[in-house]
Amino acid sequence: MNKAVVLMSGGLDSTTVLAYAQSQGYDVVGLSFDYGQRHKIEMISSEKIANYFRIQRKVFKIDLKQIGGSALTSEINVEKGKLDRNEIPNTYVPGRNIIFLTIAGAYADILKAETVMIGVNSVDYSGYPDCRPEFIESMEKALNLGLAGSYRCKLNLVAPLQRLGKGEIVKMGIKLKAPYSLTYSCYNGNERSCGKCDSCLLRLRGFMEANEIDPIEYSEYPDFYSEYIKSRNSTNG
């Protein structure tokens, strides 16, 4: 059975990847990062999700506040969400996925796992440069050149959601019975998701596009999602 290290944030995308990896027959080990994120509540979600899938989950601690420069790891406020933005938002954490993927690669090296999976996608995303396919490709190359395990076998860096829109991701996850009610995506880190940040907006639009209902609780829905719920109710009623 092939072993895969799957990065788990407790969010929608990585939970879909977990469901996908298990459906493909991988022996999955989860890896979560306690990195000083404002939305530490996602760690509770990722623990629940690991239990749901009955997989081993490792938590790696690394304090990215030491680098600073991001709303997710400092006192800077998370800026208001915006769909279809052109600039990189202030929630960008410099080097986050590069660091996470390197640690995942090193961990795969120790476990003799041949695959690392990550839930990045570059269709409905926040514009972070480390989510782009050309980055993932170059990172796979760097890991294979820099890790001793690559002398034994190639390490595959797989991003199964890379070219899917959020609606397609939700459809895929629901088909695979991903436990979306256990997931958490909001950047603000309150128990109820804010419904306003980039992450909430992208997530809710995904459920709308998939013609599904997001099972988690929000403080407030954005207008487009309220409209969608209303129109569903009137159709059903």
Q: How far is the CB of 59 from its own copies (least distance, A)?
A: 9
Q: Is 92 in the site for its own copies (CB under 8 A)?
A: yes
DSSP string, the chain: --EEEEE--SSHHHHHHHHHHHHTT-EEEEEEEE---S-THHHHHHHHHHHHHT-EEEEEE--GGGT---TTTSSSPPPPP-SS-SSPPTT--TTHHHHHHHHHHHHHHHHT--EEE----SSSS---GGGSHHHHHHHHHHHHHH-GGGGTSPPEEE-TTTT--HHHHHHHHHHTT--GGG----SS--SSB-S-SHHHHHHHHHHHHTT----S-BS---HHHHHHHHHHHHHH-
Judged by beta carbon, residue 121 or residue 183, the one nearer its own copies is 121
Residues 6 or more apart from 206 whose CB is under 8 A from it? Answer: 12, 124, 165, 166, 167, 169, 170
Near its own copies by CB under 8 A: residue from 51, 77, 138, 211:
138
Binding flag, residue 148, its own copies (CB under 8 A): yes
Q: Does 132 bind its own copies (CB under 8 A)?
A: yes
Minimum distance from CB of 130 to its own copies (Å)?
4
Q: Does 61 bind its own copies (CB under 8 A)?
A: yes
Output 63 or 227, the one with its CB closest to its own copies: 63
Q: Which class for 89: exposed (0-12), middle (13-18), buried (19 or more C-beta within 10 A)? A: buried
Q: Which of residues 169-208 bind its own copies (CB under 8 A)?
A: none
- Considering only 139, 159, 161, 172, the residue that binds its own copies (CB under 8 A) is 139
Nearer to its own copies, 111 or 123 (CB): 111
Of 150, 156, 162, 219, which one interacts with its own copies (CB under 8 A)?
Answer: 150
Residue corresponding to tokens 């996925």 = 97
Tell whether residue 106 is a contact of its own copies (CB under 8 A). yes
Does the protein bind its own copies through residue 220 (CB under 8 A)?
A: no
Q: Return the residue of 5, 143, 170, 194 that touches its own copies, per CB under 8 A.
A: 143
Q: Which is nearer to its own copies, 130 or 214 (CB)?
A: 130
Q: Is 99 in the site for its own copies (CB under 8 A)?
A: yes
Does 112 sit near its own copies (CB under 8 A)?
no
- Can you give the binding site for its own copies, defined by CB under 8 A? 58, 60-63, 66-69, 88, 92, 94-95, 97-99, 102-103, 105-107, 109-110, 128-130, 132, 134-135, 138-139, 141-143, 145-151
